[in-house]
A and B are shown apart, each in its own frame.
Chain A
Amino acid sequence: MNDDRFDVIGRVTRRQDGHAMVTGRQLYSSDISLPNMLQARVLRSPYPHARIAAIDTSGAERLGAVCVTPEDVPRVKYNERQVSVPAKTYRDRTVLPDKIRHVGQGVVAVAARTEALADKALDALDVGFESLPAVFDPHEAMRDGAPQLHDAVMLGETVLPIERNIACSREAVEGDVARGLEEADLVVENEFTTGRAYHGQLESKAVVCRPEADGGITVWATTQSIHNTRQLLGILFDIPLSKINVQRVPIGGSFGSSIQMNSSVAICVALALKAQKPVKLVLTREEDMYDHCKYPSNIHLTYGVKRDGTLTAGHLKTVVDIGGHNIQAYPLLGCMAGWFVSLYRLPHLKFEGTAVYTNKAPACAMQGYGNPQVTFAVESMMDTIAEALDIDPIDLRLKNYVGLGETFWGQGPTVRSVIRSCGVEEMLLKGRAMVGWERRGSPARKTGRFRRGIGVGRGFHTSGTGAPTPGEVIDYSTAMVKINEDGSVDCLTALMCHGGGTLEAGAKMVAEELGVPLDRVGISPSNTRSTGYDVCTHATRGVYCGGASLLRAAQDVKKILLDFASRIIDVNPEALKVQPDTSRGQGFVFLPGAPAKRISVAEVAKTAQIKGWGSIIAVVSHRQVNCPPCFVVNFVEVEVDTATGQIRPVRAVAAVDAGTVINPDLAAGQLEGGLCRGIGLALLEDTTYKPDSGELTCGGYLTDYKIYTAQDMPSLEDLSTFFADTYEPSGPFGAKGVGEAANNATAGAVANAIYNAVGVRLTEAPITPERVLSALTREAEQLQQGR
């Protein structure tokens, strides 16, 4: 698996932060404890839609608790997510709400010496609610006379009235769909839905805030963006950014749940500022489940296709139920258009997306950002088309996929670039052989209670959101690299690792560039006061964008290193090379072919210090001007128990085209994890609501929100992963991303495998045993009536 072109890139190495994790020494936000710290709890609404009539905190205050109510917090309207440019940012919430829009929404927050006391204070609060009619279905919400969640929101600095609960909508058109459908020999049409899966990150959202003597604050929080958290806190609480320090803290999983500055961060800060003591707020699991979920989808999809399998037109209409607040629905719809358009070549296309408010937990990004939803529909349709035209599903995909040299929309209509690396064909063909595609057979010929089927799904994600022109979304990273006086290296960046090894990849790139052994390259702890801006570790941008900024800084540092070395050993810097000598634990600068002209990096750095030449250090802010697709292919084999509707994933092959793979073990781990979550989205996961009360059916407990266990996944032998052999010219050392791509194609592959097993097309995910059995029963009844 090792890559001969490089010293450390592509090699399997132990991750630097692993030791702390296997020994329980890794400190997450929820583990932070400070002297004099108070514990916070939040009173949450039992109503899905209500006015707050009266709040009396005197009982809680008598217990010694510090309380903040909607009256006590800044009235600034904000959006938790700060990735879009201000003019495209919809702002519809305040630190504590003017009105309740979903069960579990926080109303009053308290802080006390212990959590038990804080809980007692919650009980002592007196809050009057005036319940309002609520709406839980997005289609109902758009009808005239439906309960209205928001009268108006802010878009940039403009007041935007909200009508029929439509938070925003987006359309993208190229060509003329009607004409494209007329030109087609076959028109297929179907409707698909995916559920409101819950992120299920194991660490519930957590935050600690310490007010500082200078009027500033220090914050430790579960977030994917320390800088956006800081900027938003600055706006909300009117504190200069120079006095707000947000620390980067390891996070116990995120999957998009902390892309934004979580609303609990602002609540905790408000409490800490009032108490003038450190305050800690860690959501309970049930609070966390009422806080966020994946964007569900309802997709109406139409394709026109020629008899030879050439697509002539595609039309995707979607309604997205975003819940009580709009976190990032506008860019989401843009991306959904991008995912749709960039999967398969469409001479005529139309995308129509509408995001609708309902009285449910706010939906936000969760691995894929609309991509698994769109790809589930599109990949299901590809198989429908292939069957109708009697074309092998893989051949149909090979004929139509958007690949090398073609224009790619990736992150939506405003982010276009040309594809310069592509492993789609390689992955489809190799995967086909690995899974034993020829065993697939036709569902019509399968009999018996247990039936197996094999399905394919393909897809992609973008590596970041970079583009040649500045668009609606901000994307750049800042990094500092410095060579210490013993030849070791410090890397400083605001980039986050969510577990996938992003920072490890950055360290490898720096080690490779500087020729220093990997164990002498350290990732420094970082915070907003010591680092330059980094937009957010999201959008599968960690390695491609964040890594590229570290590489640029390392390149600048290398110039200084070689310049200083040239002064010492009297060789033109242009002629010098670097190489690690792991046996001596040092990097060396040398002139090839001249053994005398060789000096350790440590000696160069030490000499520079002694002679007063200065530190070997560089800071770089870097924007990638592309967001190349990391393609993915999944083959899944399932076994359907036609008597119980239970579906077991028995075999899978997952492949990604990530360009040069930096951390092979961790990249494969991304594929395996993505597959597991993708199967969960396909078969298992959804948060549903009680129609009368607006409460979660599962109550917010994992007792009735299941995620797959080790025993539910295919065996070691039956799950394979591989990487396409590609090189992305715009990527650091040829690398692209993996992250979100890993689960984008899975649900489609699973649905196609089920169809291949039983001959029934299931379009409603999660495809639960209940849905399977109902569908099989309907099918059998129709067959009987047909006779």
Chain B
Amino acid sequence: MMTKRRVTLTVNGEHVEPLVEANALLVNVLREELQLTGTKYCCGTGQCGGCTVLVNGEPILSCLTLAAAVDGADIVTIEGVAEPDGSLDPIQEAFLDHGAVQCGFCTPGMILMAKDLLAHDPSPSEEQIREHLRGNLCRCTGYHRIVKAIGSCGQ
């Protein structure tokens, strides 16, 4: 058995100290230890973006990240995007208003990528949105309404 280590994380503003094994992947720690199942396993090889979370403000792939390697990090998952009182982020509102959600499985990753894009550029062009999302696969929508929803959030 591998020794377990305690890692200190801030997840969606909450201080947590899960006990993890050296080979534990962040996606599984979030989903299983912390019951934050909004972060998805889809491809496992870094091709689809379904496991995207923000680590210290930057989107990364939690299925390729060792939990031990992000000790001390500030993490935001889809569960941390809405306000604590439950009111939705404008991006979440836009996804609902534009029919950008079908099965919903890619939605967490897409919304976090949109958060990241809009944080760096409040009024991205359509090309920039598409380029930013190209690592996040959606099998249902053909992306049209996702791009539209994010574009509508631009200032």
Chain A interface residues (CB < 8 Å from chain B): 12, 14-15, 17-28, 30-31, 33, 116, 199-204, 250-255, 282, 284-286, 498-501, 663, 665-666, 668-669, 672-677, 701-703, 707, 709-711, 713, 715-716, 719
Question: When the two chains form their complex, are residues B45 and A703 in contact, meaning their CB atoms are under 8 A apart?
Answer: yes
Pairs A–B under 8 Å by Cβ, sample size 10: A14-B96, A23-B81, A23-B88, A24-B38, A200-B137, A202-B106, A202-B137, A707-B137, A709-B143, A713-B144
Contacts of B38 in A (CB 8 A): 23-25
Top 6 nearest A-B pairs (CB, nearest first) are A24-B38, A21-B104, A676-B142, A252-B105, A499-B103, A665-B99
Q: Which residues of A contact B133 (CB under 8 A)?
A: 709-711
Q: Are B97 and A14 in contact (CB under 8 A)?
A: yes
Q: How far apart sit A676 and B133, CA to CA, in the bound complex (Å)? A: 15
Indicate if B44 sits at the interface (CB-CB under 8 A): yes
Q: Which of B3-11, B54-62, B66-74, B145-153 contacts A (4 or more CB under 8 A)?
A: B145-153
The interface residues of chain B lying within 8 Å CB-to-CB of A707 are: 137, 139
**CB nearest to B86 among chain A residues:** A23
Please indicate the chain A residues that have their CB under 8 angstroms from the CB of B42 in the complex. 202-204, 285
Looking at chain A's contact residues, the main secondary structure is: loop
Across the interface, do A250 and B99 meet the contact criterion of CB distance under 8 Å?
Answer: no
- Do residues A702 and B45 form an inter-chain contact, with CB atoms below 8 A? yes
User: Cβ of B96 and Cβ of A713 under 8 Å apart?
Assistant: no
B141: interface (CB < 8 Å): yes
B139 with A23: CB separation less than 8 A: no
Asked whether A28 and B143 contact (CB < 8 A) given A22-B92, A665-B98, the answer is no
Q: Once the chains are docked, how many angstroms separate the CA of A713 from the CA of B130?
A: 9
Nearest CB in chain A to that of B131: its residue: A711
Interface residues of B in 108-151 (CB under 8 A from A): 108, 111, 126, 129-131, 133-148, 151
Partner of A668 from the list B79, B99, B129, B136 (CB cut-off 8 Å) is B99
Q: How far apart are A685's CB and chain B's nearest CB, in angstroms?
A: 11
Q: Is the CB of A21 within 8 A of B101?
A: yes
Residue of B nearest to A679 (CB): B142
Given A18-B96, A22-B101: A672 and B79 interface contact (C-beta under 8 Å): no
| Closest chain A residue, CB of each to CB of B92 | A22
Query: Is B103's CB under 8 angstroms from A252's CB?
Result: yes
The residue that A673 contacts in the complex, of B41, B96, B140, with Cβ under 8 A, is B140
Distance A442 CA – B127 CA, assembled complex (angstroms): 31
Question: What is the minimal beta-carbon distance from B122 to any residue of chain A, in angstroms?
Answer: 19
Q: Which of B38, B43, B47, B147 has the most CB of A within 10 A?
A: B43
Contacts of A20 on B, CB cut-off 8 Å? 104
For B139, list chain A residues within 8 Å (CB): 199-202, 253, 255, 673, 677, 707
Establish whether residues A24 and B37, one from each chain, have CB atoms under 8 Å apart when the complex forms.
Answer: yes
Task: Determine how close the nearest CB of chain B comes to the CB of A278; give it in whole angstroms.
Answer: 15
**12 extra interface residue pairs, beta carbon distance < 8 Å, beyond A19-B88, A24-B39, A711-B134:** A15-B96, A23-B38, A23-B88, A27-B37, A201-B139, A253-B103, A253-B140, A499-B140, A673-B142, A701-B47, A710-B129, A710-B143
| Chain B 18-69 residues near chain A, CB threshold 8 A | 21, 23, 31-32, 35-45, 47-48, 50
Contacts of A282 in B (CB 8 A): 41
Q: How far is the CA of A653 from the CA of B25 in the complex (A)?
A: 43
Nearest chain B CB to A103's CB is how many angstroms away?
19
Given the complex, which residues of B lie within 8 Å of A677, measured CB to CB?
A: 139, 142
Q: Is the beta-carbon distance between B40 and A203 smaller than 8 angstroms? A: yes
Q: Give the distance in Å from the alpha carbon of A17 to the alpha carbon of B81 in the complex.
A: 17
Which chain A residue lies CB-closest to B91? A22
Residues of A near B129 (CB, < 8 A) are: 710
**Across the interface, do A22 and B107 meet the contact criterion of CB distance under 8 Å?**
yes
Greatest chain B CB density within 10 A among A19, A251, A253 is at A253
Q: Is the Cβ of B146 less than 8 Å from the Cβ of A710?
A: yes
| Complex contacts, A285 vs chain B, CB 8 Å | 42-45
Give Cα A703–Cα B43 distance, bound, in whole angstroms: 9
A115–chain B nearest beta-carbon distance, Å = 8
**Nearest CB of chain A from residue B62's CB, rounded to whole Å:** 13
Q: Which of B77, B103, B136 is the most central at the interface, judged by chain A CB atoms within 10 Å of its CB?
A: B103
User: For A701, what are the chain B residues with a Cβ–Cβ distance below 8 Å?
Assistant: 43, 45, 47
A665 to B107, CA, bound (A): 17
In the assembled complex, the Cα of A703 lies from the Cα of B139 at a distance in Å of: 16
Please state if B95 and A22 are interface contacts (CB–CB under 8 Å).
yes
Among residues of A, the one whose C-beta sits closest to the C-beta of B106 is A202
> Which residue of B48, B95, B104 is within 8 Å of A499 (Cβ)?
B104
Q: In the complex, what distance in Å separates the CA atom of A255 from the CA atom of B102?
A: 12
- In the complex the two chains form, is A500's CB within 8 Å of B146's CB? no
Most chain A CB neighbours (cut-off 10 Å) among B39, B77, B82: B82
Q: How far is the CA of A498 from the CA of B126 in the complex (A)?
A: 28
A668 vs B102: C-alpha distance when bound (angstroms) = 11
Quote the shortest CB–CB distance from B36 to chain A (angstroms). 7
A702 to B23, CA, bound (A): 22
A residues in contact with B45, CB < 8 Å: 285, 701-703
| A782→B31 CA distance, assembly (Å) | 59
CB distance from B150 to the nearest CB of A (A): 10
* Contact, CB under 8 Å: A28 / B105: yes
Known: A26-B104, A33-B35, A711-B131. A669 touches B137 (CB 8 A): no
The answer to whether B75 has its CB under 8 Å from any CB of chain A is: no
- Residues from chain A with Cβ under 8 Å of B31 in the complex: 31
- Pick from A14, A24, A30, A284: contact of B78, CB under 8 Å: A24
- Cβ of B105 and Cβ of A202 under 8 Å apart? yes
Contacts of A200 in B (CB 8 A): 137, 139
- Is the CB–CB distance between B79 and A25 below 8 Å? yes
Q: Do B48 and A202 touch across chains, with their CB atoms under 8 A apart?
A: yes
B126 near A666 with CB under 8 A, answer: no
For residue B104, which residues in chain A have a CB less than 8 angstroms away from its CB? Answer: 17-18, 20-22, 26, 250, 252, 499
Quick one: given A14-B96, A250-B104, are A24 and B77 in contact (CB under 8 Å)?
yes
Which residues of A are found within 8 Å of B147, using beta-carbon distances?
Answer: 710, 716
Q: Which residues of B contact A116 (CB under 8 A)?
A: 21, 23
A716 & B126 in contact (Cβ 8 Å cutoff): yes
* Chain B nearest CB, measured from A502 CB (Å): 11
Tell me, in angstroms, the Cα distance from A18 to B141 when the chains sit together.
Answer: 14
Chain B residues within an 8 Å CB radius of A250 = 103-104
The distance in angstroms between the C-alpha atoms of A411 and B131, with both chains bound, is 41
B79 touches A703 (CB 8 A): no
Q: Given the interface contacts A669-B102, A716-B126, does A702 sit within 8 Å of B143 by beta carbon?
A: no
Contact (Cβ within 8 A) B102 A22: no
Q: How far is the CA of A18 from the CA of B88 in the complex (A)?
A: 12
Bound together, the chains give a CA A73 to CA B77 distance in angstroms of 41
Q: Are the C-beta atoms of A669 and B99 separated by less than 8 Å?
A: yes
Contact B145 A202, beta carbon cutoff 8 Å: no
Residues of A within 8 A of B41 (CB): 30, 204, 282
Specify which of A199, A665, A675 is in contact with B145 (CB 8 Å cutoff): A665
Q: From the candidates B78, B102, B137, name the one contacting A500 in the complex (CB within 8 A).
A: B102
Complex partner residue of B48 from A663, A702, A710, CB under 8 angstroms: A702
